[in-house]
């Protein structure tokens, strides 16, 4: 038992620096997604952001380093006939392959995520009926999770929850919270493109358009890019925080290239599911079968930290 506890605690510490690349598709349609590992399981929530409290996650997970690009959507469409539509950006800097997939509906974002799962032999994260309508998972479904009927517990990839997204953006390996997703409490420097620290793609002209996903500002303390600026991003989470209604608005976060605000941790927005105005990134767990162990490990790690603080 002592050895298991030690492994779990060390996993929570060492996982912070890991980067994972996952491969999908085949042939000309093969593509990869880079993830960074978000450790410090069982962290205390932030009580200065929105919603309040927010950002406590009881397990280690992976979060996309970059926003999903147009190239990845095009390859997924070609591979599986998803038919995901994106906004024509001809008047907003062009439709370059490595620009973020702006103008994606929430429904299409989760269909993309479902393809990631099924292409690797895992359960789809999100349930659609035969008519293509989004549904809640129910007690009769394998993988039903009463705490989150939106997401199948046996999925490996999903749209990040508000807590998962927020922690990756405004949190840090040491547990400190920041107001901006560049590890600062002051607004980052506004740029059209680049990777210098404490910068973000915002406050630009509308015609400038977003930057390529790999050139969209400085990194967060965890190593993610563009959780401030470039394009707004969809959350899995319903705006009221309870995932029990298939049709209610979802959280959106992060601001976009032509806005001079909406980047801070205490600012969030709401988007209708059929609205085609946003981008997204993907989250994952190392292995779905290990989720219960990770949850247990996070609880143990948090308990040990509390005990040490007494």
Structure tokens at 278: 């946003």
The tokens for 298 are 């996070």
Q: Residue 244 burial by CB count (10 A; 0-12/13-18/19+): exposed, middle or buried?
A: exposed
pLDDT of 286? 78
Distance CA 38, CA 45 (A): 14
pLDDT confidence of residue 287? 67
Q: Supply the pLDDT for residue 308.
A: 35
What confidence score (pLDDT) does residue 288 get? 62
CATH 3.30.70.100 fits 2-309, yes or no: no
99 and 75 in contact (C-beta within 8 Å)?
A: no
Q: Residue ranges per domain, the chain?
A: 2-309
Neighbouring CB atoms inside 10 A of 227's CB total 29
**Residue for token pair 């990134």:** 281
Instruction: Give the predicted TM-score (pTM) of the model.
Output: 0.88
Q: Averaged in consecutive runs of 10 residues, what is the pLDDT profile of the chain (310 residues)?
A: 35 54 96 97 98 97 98 98 97 98 97 97 97 97 97 97 98 98 98 98 97 98 98 98 97 96 95 91 80 43 36
């Amino acid at each position: 038992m002592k050895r298991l506890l030690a492994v779990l605690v060390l996993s929570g510490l060492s996982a912070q620096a890991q980067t994972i690349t996952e491969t999908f598709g085949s042939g000309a349609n093969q593509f990869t997604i880079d993830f960074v590992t978000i450790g410090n399981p069982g962290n205390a929530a932030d009580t200065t952001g929105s919603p309040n409290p927010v950002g406590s996650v009881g397990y280690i997970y992976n979060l996309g380093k970059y926003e999903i690009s147009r190239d990845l959507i095009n390859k997924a469409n070609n591979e599986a006939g998803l038919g995901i539509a994106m906004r024509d950006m001809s008047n907003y800097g062009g439709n370059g392959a490595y620009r973020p997939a702006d103008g994606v509906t929430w429904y299409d974002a989760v269909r993309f995520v479902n393809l990631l799962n099924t292409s690797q032999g895992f359960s789809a994260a999100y349930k659609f009926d035969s008519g293509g309508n989004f549904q809640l998972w129910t007690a009769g479904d394998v993988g039903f999770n009463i705490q989150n009927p939106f997401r199948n517990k046996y999925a490996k990839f999903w749209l990040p929850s508000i807590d998962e997204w927020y922690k990756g953006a405004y949190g840090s390996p040491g547990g400190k919270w920041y107001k901006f997703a560049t590890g600062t409490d002051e607004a980052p420097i506004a740029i059209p493109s680049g990777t210098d620290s404490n910068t973000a793609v915002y406050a630009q002209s509308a015609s400038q358009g977003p930057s390529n996903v790999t050139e969209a500002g400085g990194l967060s303390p965890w190593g993610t890019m563009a959780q401030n600026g470039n394009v707004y991003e969809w959350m899995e989470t319903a705006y009221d925080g309870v995932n029990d209604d298939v049709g209610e608005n979802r959280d959106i976060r992060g601001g976009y290239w032509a806005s001079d605000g909406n980047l801070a941790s205490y600012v969030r927005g709401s988007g209708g599911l059929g609205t085609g105005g946003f981008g997204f990134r993907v989250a994952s767990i190392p292995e779905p079968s290990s989720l219960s162990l990770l949850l247990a490990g996070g609880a143990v790690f948090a308990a040990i930290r509390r005990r040490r603080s007494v």
